[in-house]
Amino acid sequence: MRAITRGWEWIRSIARGRSLEAGLDEEIRFHLDQQTEKNRRAGMSPEEARRHALLRFGGREHVRETTRDEIRPALLEDSVRDVRHGLRVLRRAPGFTAAALLTLALGIGATSAIFSVVRTVVLQPLPYREPDRLVSVWETNRGGTTRNVIAPANFVAWRERTRTLEHLGMVGPATLAMIVNGQPDQIAGLTFSFDLFHAVGVQPVLGRAYTIEEDLGGNDAVIVLSHEFWQRRLGGRGDVLGMTLSTDGRPRMVIGVMPPGFTVVGDKADFLIPYGQTVEQLRAVRGRGSSYAIGRLREGVSVEQAFSEMRSIYADLEREEPQRNARRTVMLFPLHEQMVGDLRPAVLALAGAVVLVLLVACVNVANLLLARSAAREREVGLRTALGAGRARLVRQMLTESLVLASAGGIGGLAIAALCHRGLLALVGDRIPIPRLEQVALDLPVVAFTVVVALATGIIFGIVPAFVSTSHASDALREGGRHGGGRRLHRVLRTLVVAEVALSLVLLAGAGLLMRSFLKLQSVDPGFRADGVLTAGVQLPATRYGLPQAGSFFRESLSRIAALPGVQHAAGASCLPVPFACIGTSFWRVDHAKPADGQLSSAQVRPITPEFFGTMRIPQVAGRDFSDSDTVDSPPVAIVSEELVRQQFADGSPLGRRLRINVDHANGKTDVEWTIVGVVGNTRSNLDGPVRQTIYIPRTQRPAPSITFFVRTPQDPTLLAPSVTGILHSMEPEAPVEVRTLDDVVVDTIARPRAISVLVGVFALVALAVAAVGVYGVMAYSARERTQEIGVRMALGASASSVFRLVIGQALRLVVIGVAVGLVAAGALTRLLARLLYQVEPLDPWTFAVTALVLLVVATIASYLPARRGMHMAPVDALRTN
Amino acid sequence: MANERGDLLQGTLDMLVLKALQLEPMHGWGITERIEQWSESVLQLGQGTLYPALYRLERQGLIRSDWKVTQNNRRARYYALTRGGRKQLEDELAQWRRMSRAVNLVLEATIE
């Protein structure tokens, strides 16, 4: 009951908060009048009565303050007043405000933008049923760390034998040539075991998933579409279920549409199709295909238990099928790890970078606030003298910082929105970052921004608020001179050092990444990418057998080669980067075949004649392929210098023969390939080693798809319309993908490029912010010492010695900051090791340049204040106060 | 700045204010006058402490205030005890009596 009464009174007092406050003055006046009246009646003169009343009452301002502190609603009211006061103060110092706001907006904006990415890409759980229980299964070389695709035959064995996993299924990339709205197009999707619908616990929103009969039964003329494909490409038509799509020339019926946003571990897929092979067919597949497996841990089974079971199953398979499984084993890890694992170092680097930017921004604003608080000392002193408590002053100053931080936060959100677009543009769809397109500035990100803004407001506000009120009562006593105090100066200097050190860490990290990227970019891939257009064509497999495809390619190549402006034209089964094309084992015919698991492996690339001329890969020895190398002529091969180095230390390889683990066009696997030429090395990965390479004629190892390479002295994109035109006129249903070879190569290093550009931008922001900070503090300190400088100059100090004095002080701080930063950077750049290519985390060159850059920038930042000091006339300097 | 209200004093002051309002609603000046009269001018309230106390008590819901017109036709804020305030006053009086009796017993104990 009492509590209710009290609560009611409290609410009433809040509601009347304003009138209470307004009433206090009237009340005090009334009180004084009554006292005066009483004094007068006691016989005093009116003036005397008034004076005594005032005297007795005590400090009115003090009464007001302490009374106000008793009124809870006043807290709110004071805050409103503080906010208004804060805005007024900020408006009065536009330069300071602009610098602080920009700094904060940049820091907060960058943080929010990166957070939005980290949240979506890394933190959010996979949108599956109980995603923690999903694991992915890969094969690997024993002791290896790279994930390799699995052999379907092994998959069948796992599926039968495992007791720890359920719903084990395969998934792998698939490309289908489809005619959509009359346009032939190459659509990327996935082959996806029917089991996986149960494993991930996601069913189509429309229609149904395929069944075991449609997958393992082989009745696989069905397709499940993505929601996006249905909406975007098929206009969301209502009769999608049951419609027939021509895929690679064979009809498939649409039986389902997946829910919007469905991905398989972040891989976008416009369709899902069954493997459509029986267990016996899968068991008979030679080689490894391009799939991995996903399974669900059974109730109560841990990842470790499943891993050890799978390892022992694999050990059995190794004994049973040594040719396929010798010296190999299995890898199993949580599905989320598969998506995030690769990205983690990059994302951590970016997150680290933005946190550093934010810290520099905070330190900088704290710095600016402090330097400015010196100018406000008298205000603070005055308010203290008038009875404002320290807590009250701190509160007011914190409110100001929060006002600043809120404005900065709003600016930050705007910048984040821009960054966000820039980020997506920079990354584009060149880098396969899972779920990137789902990144949005949604509520959690805004909430995060608000929290960050408030936190920064408190962080950068708290030190200045306490430092500048600590000696408030001295301010007036010192007769209005800027008495700043040693403590303020110490804090200012510490902040400058911190700022320089923090930005050095960031700059060093960015420098390392940039240098690593430049090294990567300058890696010689072994071919000349400029001036070459590539055009990938895939023929519908149902209408073209391999012989028909062969003549199609021969015909189209000769027409392309005849185009005006074409110097060379050739074809190959694969792009030179970033994949190995066919990775397989081989051995010399004149040597005994090594044991399983001891075989050398090479990348095998089927090509047409003129390929080396087109790509400018130097021919070192022997001959090129020619039109007389056909399916019926003796099998021939051209090898890379690296292969010669590793295999033919005993003399020329020309005329020697190799056994290669690939099918010849005549269907035989035991053919012997005679080496007829040697060419320069190429890399399929710029950051990878040079691997042994074997080129064979496409006529002897054909495929239903081809990539043409066209070298021209002009801009290669100019040839794109005519090349596409030729191919479409010959086969309107074949999708064609045209890109310059330069783009193909650049795309392979898009991720390191994006990371180094981003971190570089952050580092520049931090550098700019730090420069503003150093400038601000030096300007303040030069102004502070105006009188000292005046005295010195009056006593005969030269302008240059004054200059040296000011700049010397600045440089001392910067040097300390650089030293601290170098130590910190040395400790932190180790974390970047996984992102660096041929650059040591402690690369002395980078560190030296970074330190130099900071020194120069800081010197410039303190040059202006120093010069102002130098050019001051002594009289003016002395008159300032 | 010296703090004018020690904690001990504060508790006592609140009780005195509540007591002063026990009979009838009064304005701030009236309260100082009444306490001065009752204490035979021993307790002269520091005015700077009275108003904070009044606002505090009002916030705690022990008193409430209303603007009224005095006999001299001036507006003044009159404070009155709420039910909670009366209860609080009784509690504090009982507490005070117990305490002062105890202190008196100690101070006037005869030493043998």
* Percentage helix, strand, coil for chain B under 3-state DSSP, each rounded to 5: 55, 15, 30
Interchain contact, A30 vs B29, CB within 8 Å: yes
**Contact call for residues A400 and A85 (beta carbons, < 8 A):** yes
CATH 1.10.10.10 holds for B7-107: yes
- Per residue in A349-358, pLDDT (tens digit) is 888 888 888 8
Look at residue A315 in the predicted model and tell me its pLDDT.
92
DSSP letter at A121 equals I
Is residue A39 within 8 Å of A49, Cβ to Cβ?
yes
DSSP letters, A767-832, are: HHHHHHHHHHHHHHHHHHTHHHHHHHHHTT--HHHHHHHHHHHHHHHHHHHHHHHHHHHHHHGGGG
Long-range CB contacts (< 8 A, 24+ apart) of A836-842? A836/A512, A836/A513, A836/A516, A837/A516, A837/A517, A837/A519, A837/A520, A837/A687, A837/A752, A838/A516, A838/A519, A838/A520, A839/A512, A839/A515, A839/A516, A839/A519, A841/A512
Within a domain: residue A99?
no
pLDDT at A296 over 80: yes
- Tell me: do A543 and A652 sit in the same domain: yes
What average pLDDT does this structure show over A21-48? 81
Angle (CA) A786 A787 A792, round 5°: 100
Mean pLDDT in chain B? 79
Same domain, A545 and A593: yes
Point out the domain boundary residue: A80, A104, A122. A80
Do A668 and A564 reside in the same domain of the chain? yes
B15-67 pLDDT, tens digit per residue, is: 888 888 988 888 888 888 888 888 777 777 766 678 888 888 887 788 988 88
Q: What is the pLDDT of residue A109?
A: 86
Q: Which of A744, A773, A795 is the last residue of a domain?
A: A744
Residues of A within an 8 Å Cβ radius of B: 2, 5-10, 12-13, 20, 23-24, 26-28, 30-31, 33-35, 56-59, 62-63, 66-67, 69-72, 387, 389
pLDDT of the residue at A4: 57
Cβ–Cβ under 8 Å, residues A611 and A629:
no
Please tell me the total number of residues recorded for chain A in this structure: 881
What mean pLDDT do residues A12-31 have? Answer: 66
Number of domains in chain A: 4
Exposed/middle/buried for B101, CB within 10 Å: 0-12, 13-18, 19+?
Answer: exposed
pLDDT level of residue A481 (50, 70, 90 thresholds): very low
Neighbours of B94 (CB within 10 A): 10
CA distance B91 to chain A (A): 14
Comparison of pLDDT for A178 and A313, the residue scoring more:
A313
Residue boundaries of the structural domains of chain B: 7-107
Mean pLDDT, residues A315-329 taken together: 87
Characterize the bridge pairing of strands A582-588 and A657-660: antiparallel
Same domain, A185 and A302: yes
Residue of higher predicted confidence among A122 and A716: A716
Q: Is the whole model's pTM more than 0.90, yes or no?
A: no
Q: Which of A726, A744, A762 is the last residue of a domain?
A: A744
The per-residue pLDDT for A475 is 47
Q: How far is CA A204 from the centre of its chain?
A: 32
- What is the CA angle A491-A495-A499, rounded to 5? 175
Report the run of H or E that residue A468 belongs to, with start and end. Answer: helix A443-470
Model pLDDT for residues A737-776, shown as the tens digit of each residue: 899 999 888 888 877 888 888 888 888 888 888 888 788 7
The verdict on A578 and A498 lying in the same domain is no
Q: Which of A30, A35, A390 to mutate to test the interface with B (most CBs of B within 10 A)?
A: A30
| C-alpha–C-alpha distance, residues A637 and A648, integer Å | 15
**In a shared domain, residues A544 and A478:** no
Q: What is the complex's ipTM, to 2 decimals?
A: 0.81
Residue A596 main-chain phi, psi, to 5 deg: -55, 140
Q: Which residues pair with A601 in a beta bridge?
A: A585
> Domain check: are A204 and A293 in the same one?
yes
Q: Is the peptide bond before A578 cis (omega within 30 degrees of 0)?
A: yes
* pLDDT surpassing 60 at residue A14: no
Query: Do residues A563 and A616 both lie within one domain?
Result: yes
SS3 content of chain A, % helix, strand, coil (to 5): 55, 15, 30
User: What is the per-residue pLDDT across A603-627, written as a single tens digit (0 to 9) for each?
Assistant: 999 999 999 999 999 999 999 999 9
Per the listing, tokens 């520091």 go with: B46
End-to-end CA distance of chain B: 47
Residues of B with CB under 8 A from a CB of A: 1, 27-29, 46-48, 51-53, 55-56, 58-61, 64-65, 67, 74-77, 82-84, 87
Rg (CA), chain A: 37
What are the residues whose beta carbons fall under 8 Å from the beta carbon of A646, sequence distance 6 or more?
A600, A692
The answer to whether position A762 is within a domain reads yes
Mean pLDDT of chain A: 83
**B111: pLDDT confidence band, cut at 50, 70 and 90?**
low
**Lowest pLDDT segment from A122-131, A233-242, A474-483, A815-824:** A474-483
Helical ranges in A241-334 per DSSP H: 279-284, 303-320, 322-325
Distance CA A286, CA A152 (A): 8
Query: What residues make up the domain containing A847?
Result: 344-521+750-879
Candidate from A6, A57, A58 with C-beta closest to B60? A6
Lowest mean pLDDT among A60-74, A88-102, A411-425: A60-74
Quick one: pLDDT at residue A479? 44
- A429 vs A785: which has the higher pLDDT: A785
Based on the fold, state whether residues A218 and A266 are members of the same structural domain: yes
Over residues A434-439, the mean pLDDT reads 66
> Which of A62-66, A586-590, A804-808, B35-39 is predicted with the least confidence, judged by mean pLDDT?
A62-66
Rounded Cα distance, A720 and A726, in Å: 10
pLDDT at B5: 35
Contact A348, A192 (CB under 8 A): no
